[in-house]
Structure 1
Amino acid sequence: MKLTILGCYAATPRTITNPTAQVLEIRNRMFLIDCGEGTQVQLRKNKLKFSKINHIFISHLHGDHFYGLVGLISTFMLLNRQTDLHVYGPKGIKEIVLLQLRYSNSYTGYNLFFHELTATVSEVVYEDEKVVVKTIPLKHRIYTNGFLFQEKIGDRKLNVDAVQEYQIETCYFQKIKNGSDITLDDGTVISNSILTFDPIKPKSYAFCSDTMYHESIIPIIQGCDVLYHETTFLETEADKAEKTMHSTAKQAAMIANKAKVSQLILGHYSTRYANIECFKQEAELIFPNVILADDGKIFEFE
């Protein structure tokens, strides 16, 4: 599981910081999460292949989270994209994007699908044989969702020494990896636990931006491997966080602690702060495993 931060600052883009966008690579899938201004430039800087992005998840319709979307969609057209593109986001995103394309006399040479979200409870919005994505209803000034990306449990791992010892033919290997026992020609049943090892523990990643402190998300993200949680303000500006429906570093750490996640990534910093290290220092008083997002940072989770 690999996470590339394209942008992680609040409000407006600057010459040294970018608004929210990140790419999650999990089980050979590449998901774009939010698409603030400058996202396609950041994709190029980080040498990420445009063609591998088939699914884009937009948390909410504040500009610093989706103003780069129509530009990226248009660039896909200029690159002669043929693969379908799916966009998941709040109701209204289809109208906004198609209006811009229509009045600029633009078009896409590929199929563009919009999956508009309106539910106020967690729901599955994407699923294939390896990954499932669920919404995390957040509490912000407008309708907002985070997203929980979960690997599905993979096949069991073949114990090569054991299958050779029992002279089991290769045609049975997939059946064994699926969990089946094997009966030999003499009627002996070989337990699957002898022939395989447990599959690798599936990983999970929760993206939560933007939101005020909201404990109702805890059951959804309980025990996840990595939580990205917004921290626009420090606790000294808790009144501003409450007024704008954002979170402080302390509050993000409290969520991580109560949800018993393994790792907390902080992001969506207000640009009023000269040094983002202060966010880490505040959060670590509550939750020990804190790392800071920053533009261009790459995290690999084994």
Structure 2
Amino acid sequence: MKLTILGCYAATPRTFTNPTSQILDIKNRLFLIDCGEGTQVQLRKNKIKFSKINHVFISHLHGDHFFGLIGLISTFSLLGRNTDLHIHGPKGIKEIIMLQLRLSNSWTNYDLFFHELESTESQIIYEDDKVIVKTIPLKHRVYTNGFLFQEKIGERKLNIEAVQGFKIDSCYFQNIRNGKDILLDSGQIVENHKLSFDPVAAKSYAFCSDTSYNESIIKIIENVDVLYHESTFLQSEESLASKTLHSTAKEAATIALKANVKQLILGHYSTRYESIDLFKEEAQTIFPNVLLADDGKSFDL
């Protein structure tokens, strides 16, 4: 799992900061999470292949989280895309995008699928053989979801030395990887754990932006490997955070602590502050394992 931050600042884009957008790479499958203005420029700067993006997840319909989407969709067409694009987001996202395409007489030369969300309960919204994606209902000024990405446990790893020792034919290797015991010609049953190693531990990533302090998400994100949680304000602006239904760095850290996550990444900073280091300093008074998102920064999870 690799996370690339394309943008992580609140509200409007500036010459040196971008609104929310990030790429999550899970076993060479790319998922675009939010799509603020300038996303496609940031994709190019970070040398991310447009053609590998097949699923887009939009948290909510505030402009700094989706105004870049219509441009990206149009660019896909200009580049000759012919593979399907799936957009997962709040009810209304289809109407917004289709209206822009219709009034500009611009139609895609690939199939565009919208998966609109309305539920206020966590639900599975995507699944394949590698990953499951669930919603994380958030508390904001409009209907908003975060997203929980969970790897599926992979195959077991062959213990080549043991397999050769029991003189097991290669035609049984896949059964061993699938966790099955092996019956030898002699009638002996060799237990799987003697022939294979445990698979690499599955990773999990939770994206939570935008939201006010909300303990109801703790049961959904409990024990995740990495939590990205918005921290628009410092605690000195707690009243403003409460008014706008955003979080402070201290509140994000409190959620991380109570959810027992392994690592916290802060983002969605208000640009009123001189340094984003202030967010880390505040959060670490509550939760020690804090990293700061920044545009163009990558994290190997």
TM-score (norm 1): 0.99
In structure 1, what is the equivalent of residue 12 of structure 2? 12
Deviations, residues 117-148 of structure 1 (Å, cap 9, x unaligned)? 00000000000011000000000000000000
In structure 2, what is the equivalent of residue 223 of structure 1? 223
Deviations, residues 141-172 of structure 1 (Å, cap 9, x unaligned)? 00000000000011111100000000101110
Secondary structure of the 2:258 match is helix
In structure 2, what is the equivalent of residue 117 of structure 1? 117
Secondary structure of the 1:237 match is helix
Determine the C-alpha separation between the residues in 2 that align with 1:111 and 1:274.
45
Contact 1:10 1:270 survives alignment (8 Å): yes
Contact 1:27 1:131 survives alignment (8 Å): no
In structure 2, what is the equivalent of residue 294 of structure 1? 294
Determine the C-alpha separation between the residues in 2 that align with 1:130 and 1:266.
26
In structure 1, what is the equivalent of residue 104 of structure 2? 104
**Is residue 140 of structure 1 aligned with residue 153 of structure 2?**
no
Which aligned pairs between 1:116-265 and structure 2 lie closer than 5 A?
Answer: 116-265=116-265
Determine the C-alpha separation between the residues in 2 that align with 1:199 and 1:219.
26
Which aligned pairs between 1:30-45 and structure 2 lie closer than 5 A?
Answer: 30-45=30-45
Determine the C-alpha separation between the residues in 2 that align with 1:48 and 1:292.
21
User: In the comparison of the two structures, how many residue pairs are matched?
Assistant: 301
Shift of 1:257: 0.3
Letter in structure 2 aligned against 1:246: H
Shift of 1:27: 1.6
Determine the C-alpha separation between the residues in 2 that align with 1:270 and 1:34.
17
Determine the C-alpha separation between the residues in 1 that align with 2:274 and 2:66.
25
Secondary structure of the 1:67 match is coil
Determine the C-alpha separation between the residues in 2 that align with 1:92 and 1:18.
24
Determine the C-alpha separation between the residues in 2 that align with 1:232 and 1:155.
40
Contact 1:135 1:147 survives alignment (8 Å): yes
Determine the C-alpha separation between the residues in 2 that align with 1:56 and 1:136.
16
Letter in structure 2 aligned against 1:102: R
Determine the C-alpha separation between the residues in 2 that align with 1:227 and 1:183.
44
Letter in structure 1 aligned against 2:281: Q
In structure 2, what is the equivalent of residue 76 of structure 1? 76
Determine the C-alpha separation between the residues in 2 that align with 1:206 and 1:292.
15
Determine the C-alpha separation between the residues in 2 that align with 1:267 and 1:101.
32
Could you list the structure 1 runs, at least 4 aligned residues long, displaced by more than 2 angstroms after superposition.
none
TM-score (norm 2): 1.00
Secondary structure of the 1:86 match is strand
Shift of 1:55: 0.2
Determine the C-alpha separation between the residues in 2 that align with 1:230 and 1:153.
28
Deviations, residues 213-267 of structure 1 (Å, cap 9, x unaligned)? 0000001000000000000000000000000000000000000000000000000
Secondary structure of the 1:247 match is coil
Secondary structure of the 1:173 match is helix
Is there any run of 5+ residues in structure 2 with no aligned partner, and where?
Answer: none
Letter in structure 2 aligned against 1:50: F
Secondary structure of the 2:255 match is helix
Determine the C-alpha separation between the residues in 2 that align with 1:29 and 1:122.
23
Determine the C-alpha separation between the residues in 1 that align with 2:193 and 2:275.
52
Shift of 1:274: 1.4
Shift of 1:28: 1.7
Secondary structure of the 1:150 match is strand
Determine the C-alpha separation between the residues in 2 that align with 1:217 and 1:29.
26
Identity %: 72
Determine the C-alpha separation between the residues in 2 that align with 1:48 and 1:191.
44
Contact 1:8 1:20 survives alignment (8 Å): yes
Determine the C-alpha separation between the residues in 2 that align with 1:2 and 1:153.
17
In structure 1, what is the equivalent of residue 92 of structure 2? 92
Determine the C-alpha separation between the residues in 1 that align with 2:85 and 2:164.
45
Determine the C-alpha separation between the residues in 2 that align with 1:178 and 1:80.
39
